[in-house]
Amino acid sequence: MDSSLAAEQQRILASNWGGGKSPFGTSWSKFMMWIFIISDALTFAAFLIAYGFMRSISPEWPKQTQVFNMVLITFMTFVLISSSAVMAMAVGAARAANPKLAFRFLMLTIVGGLMFLGCQAFEWSHLIEEGARLTHNPWGVPQFSASFFVITGFHGFHVLSGVTILLIVAIRTAMGKYSADQVENAGLYWHFVDVVWVFVFAFYYLL
């Protein structure tokens, strides 16, 4: 009886869930990045659900195509998706132990991020000039501009943080202090920022 119990315990400890092996098969830093991304995704999920709620209880919602410059928004989406693709190539180059190429791809990604931020600053200043505030706006219910500033503001701040992280990783890569894991973790975060924008683009601007 006792020996079979000990054997069972041995089996559990040796299994994936026993803690004996890495249950997720990743490095700790990558796993932590995933945990961070999941918790961050919950924040954005809450924002978007709250936005959906506010929109459904509004008697009317302004037509986005009349308020926003859709050409600019589409360009921003294009830039972010392209930078995400380039980032994936940077991770590939880092994995293939080619720091020079990885650095170039990283810099391209950073340029994409900065372009996105520039477009967003332009969009924000334009709308603020037209009279949009957190509390009111000229087009309809106050929740329209409130959700706009909160959601795109939060996302924009994530882009800014992403650019900062990528700059640090790029500098470290140029100095030869890089590790492929580091580049990959920064890449995961950058793709996540892209994923959030996909949601914002579809549900805030197009729906």
Partner 1 sequence: MAEHEEHAVSYKLYFKTWVWLLVLTALALGLGYAPINERLKAFLLVCTTLAKILVIASIFMHLRYERMNLVLLTFVPLILAIILFSFTFPETLGTATHVLRVR
Contacts to partner 1 by CB under 8 A: 16, 23-26, 31, 34, 37-38, 41-42, 45-46, 48-49, 52-54, 56-60, 65, 70, 74, 77-78, 81-82, 84-85, 87-89, 92-93, 95-96, 136, 140-143, 180, 184, 187-188, 191-192, 194-195, 198-199, 201-203, 205-207
Closest to partner 1 by CB, 6 vs 46, is: 46
* Cβ at position 198, least distance to partner 1 in Å: 5
Say how far apart CA 160 and CA 116 lie, in whole Å.
Answer: 10
Closest to partner 1 by CB, 20 vs 125, is: 20
* Cβ at position 149, least distance to partner 1 in Å: 17
Closest to partner 1 by CB, 3 vs 56, is: 56
Q: At what angle do helices 180-200 and 28-56 cross, to 10 degrees?
A: 10
The single residue listed with the structure tokens 């700790």 is 28
Q: Mapping DSSP to helix (H, G, I), strand (E, B) and coil, where does residue 173 land?
A: helix
Closest to partner 1 by CB, 7 vs 35, is: 35
Give the Å distances, CA to CA, from 51 to 38, 121, 152, 192: 20, 22, 12, 20
Say how far apart CA 62 and CA 137 lie, in whole Å.
Answer: 10
* Cβ at position 11, least distance to partner 1 in Å: 18
Say how far apart CA 207 and CA 194 lie, in whole Å.
Answer: 18
Say how far apart CA 62 and CA 144 lie, in whole Å.
Answer: 7
* Cβ at position 77, least distance to partner 1 in Å: 6
Closest to partner 1 by CB, 114 vs 180, is: 180
